[in-house]
Amino acid sequence: MYTLPSKLKLFAIIFMVVGAIGIVTGFLTAPGSTAEVKEMMADHHGDDHASEASHAVTIDSHGESHNETTVDASHAMEQAGEHGENAHDSEEAHLEHTLHQMQNRPWSALYIACFFFFMIALGALAFYAINYAAQAGWSPVLFRVMEGITAYLVPGGIIMFVLLGLSGFHINHLFVWADPEVVAHDKLLQGKAGWLNGTALMIRAAIFLGGWFLYRHFAVKFSRESDNEDGNTSFKKTFRISAAFLVFFIYTESMMSWDWLMSFDPHWFSTLYGWYVFAGMMVCAITTIAMVAIYLKSQGYLEFVNDSHIHDLGKYMFGFSIFWTYLWFSQFMLIWYANIPEEVTYFVTRIEDYKLPFFGMLAMNFIFPVLLLMNSDYKRVNWFVVLTGIVVLAGHYINLFVLVMPGTVGTSWYIGIPELGALCFFFGLFVFVVFTALTKAPLLVKNNPFVKESKNYHY
Residue 82 within any structural domain of the chain: no
Q: Mean pLDDT throughout 63-88?
A: 45
Residue 63 within any structural domain of the chain: no
pLDDT (tens digit per residue) in 155-181 = 999 999 999 999 999 898 899 999 999
pLDDT (tens digit per residue) in 228-267 = 888 889 999 999 999 999 999 999 999 999 999 999 999 9
Residue 76 within any structural domain of the chain: no
Residue 65 within any structural domain of the chain: no
**Residue 289 in contact with residue 124, Cβ under 8 Å?**
yes
Distances (CA, A) of 213 to 151, 162, 242: 10, 16, 13
Residue 64 within any structural domain of the chain: no
Residue 221: Cβ within 10 Å count: 13
Residue 359: predicted pLDDT:
94
Q: What long-range pairs does 328-333 form, CB within 8 A, spacing at least 24?
A: 328/276, 328/362, 328/366, 330/272, 331/270, 331/272, 331/273, 331/276
HSE-CB at 426 with a 13 A cutoff on CA atoms is: 27
Residue 296 within any structural domain of the chain: yes
445 vs 136: CA distance, rounded Å: 14
Residue 65: predicted pLDDT:
39
What range does the domain containing 233 cover? 6-29+103-455
Residue 132: Cβ within 10 Å count: 27
Identify the three-state secondary structure at position 232: coil
Residue 68 within any structural domain of the chain: no
Distances (CA, A) of 269 to 200, 208, 337, 369, 411: 19, 21, 16, 28, 21
Residue 365: Cβ within 10 Å count: 26
pLDDT (tens digit per residue) in 188-203 = 999 999 999 999 999 9
Q: What is the DSSP letter of 111?
A: H
Please indicate whether residue 11 or residue 46 has the higher confidence score (pLDDT): 11
Please indicate whether residue 39 or residue 325 has the higher confidence score (pLDDT): 325
C-alpha closest to that of 385 among 269, 304, 447, 305: 305
Residue 45 within any structural domain of the chain: no
Q: Mean pLDDT throughout 184-188?
A: 93
Highest mean pLDDT among 28-32, 252-256, 341-345: 252-256
Task: Provide the H-helix boundaries in 134-177.
Answer: 143-150, 153-168
Number of domains present in the structure of the chain:
1
pLDDT (tens digit per residue) in 284-320 = 999 999 999 999 999 999 999 999 999 999 999 999 9
